[in-house]
């Protein structure tokens, strides 16, 4: 039987319960699932370093035998071939995700027709959840319960506190 290995690419800055919902669904469907952090210098400064994002993802997926965490630079299709992956997993939260995701999936198919993009929907309660929203709520000290795992919430609180301390420091002459 053909083995299906899938790549789940994203920024994961930080990983949310929405991402984890998709990872849990994906690992039941595929033989192997590689969660791959995209290192895209065009995307501006991330809140968490690559290593921090990797560590959080690894901790949250440690109990899933067929899931590994990695990072990649450059074209996703090149990375898929390098990893012998035949599928890409992407999440669709709302209609607003669809247009961008369709464009990406069709372009990726043009670049590499051997790789299929598979879309999955998260549980409804995560359909409004994104890393950007989580970062925003955290920056204003809002409640993060149910949006991210406890470990990620802790990291967020500490990062926001240290950022705040750095900006309120009185400059020395
Ligand atoms: P990007 O930088 O492309 O937005 P993300 O890390 O935010 O990367 O997301 C990676 C993938 O996870 C994308 O396919 C995105 O649609 C999906 N995703 C993000 N949040 C959720 C969620 N709450 N539910 C389902 N899929 C999600």
Q: Which residues pair with 80 in a beta bridge?
A: none
Q: Residue 165 has what pLDDT?
A: 86
Do 39 and 72 touch, CB atoms closer than 8 A? yes
Q: What angle do CA 79, 82, 86 make, to 5 degrees?
A: 80
User: What residues does ligand 1 touch, defined as CB less than 6 Å away?
Assistant: 10-12, 16, 18-19, 22, 90-91, 93, 97, 122, 126, 129-131
| Atom 15 of ligand 1, residue of closest alpha carbon | 91
Q: 8 vs 15, 35, 72, 155, CA distance in Å?
A: 12, 5, 11, 23
Of 5, 1, 11, the residue nearest 132 (C-alpha): 11
**Which tokens go with 73?**
């630079």
* Per-residue pLDDT tens over the stretch 13-57: 999 999 999 999 999 999 999 999 999 877 788 999 999 999 999
Do 36 and 72 touch, CB atoms closer than 8 A? yes
| Atom 22 of ligand 1, residue of closest alpha carbon | 18
Is the CATH number of domain 5-127 3.40.50.620? yes
Residue spans of the domains in the chain: they are 5-127
Is residue 173's pLDDT more than 60? no
Q: Which residues pair with 6 in a beta bridge?
A: 33, 87
* Per-residue pLDDT tens over the stretch 96-150: 899 999 999 999 999 999 999 999 999 999 999 999 999 999 999 999 999 999 9
Q: Residue 171 has what pLDDT?
A: 65
Do 159 and 130 touch, CB atoms closer than 8 A? no
The pTM for the full model equals 0.93
Q: Residue 170 has what pLDDT?
A: 64
Taking the C-alpha atoms of residue 2 and residue 19, their distance in angstroms, rounded to an integer, is 26
Q: Residue 26 has what pLDDT?
A: 98
Atom of ligand 1 nearest to the CA of 43: 2
Q: Residue 172 has what pLDDT?
A: 62
Q: Which residues are catalytic?
A: 19, 43, 93, 131
Taking the C-alpha atoms of residue 127 and residue 121, their distance in angstroms, rounded to an integer, is 8
């Amino acid at each position: 039987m053909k083995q299906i290995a899938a790549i789940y690419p994203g920024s994961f800055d930080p990983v949310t319960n929405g991402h984890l919902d998709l990872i849990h669904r994906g690992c039941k469907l595929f033989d192997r699932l590689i969660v791959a952090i995209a290192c895209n210098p065009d995307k501006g400064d991330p809140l968490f370093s690559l290593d921090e994002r990797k560590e959080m993802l690894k901790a949250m997926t440690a109990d899933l035998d067929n899931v590994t965490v990695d990072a990649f630079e450059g074209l996703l299709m090149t990375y898929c071939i390098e990893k012998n992956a035949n599928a890409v997993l992407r999440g669709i939260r709302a209609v607003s995700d669809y247009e961008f995701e369709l464009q990406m999936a069709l372009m990726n198919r043009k670049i590499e027709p051997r790789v299929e993009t598979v879309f999955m929907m998260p549980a409804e309660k995560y359909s409004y959840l994104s890393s950007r929203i989580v970062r925003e709520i955290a920056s204003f000290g809002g409640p993060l319960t149910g949006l991210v795992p406890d470990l990620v919430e802790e990291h967020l609180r500490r990062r926001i506190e240290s950022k705040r301390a750095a900006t309120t420091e009185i400059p020395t002459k």
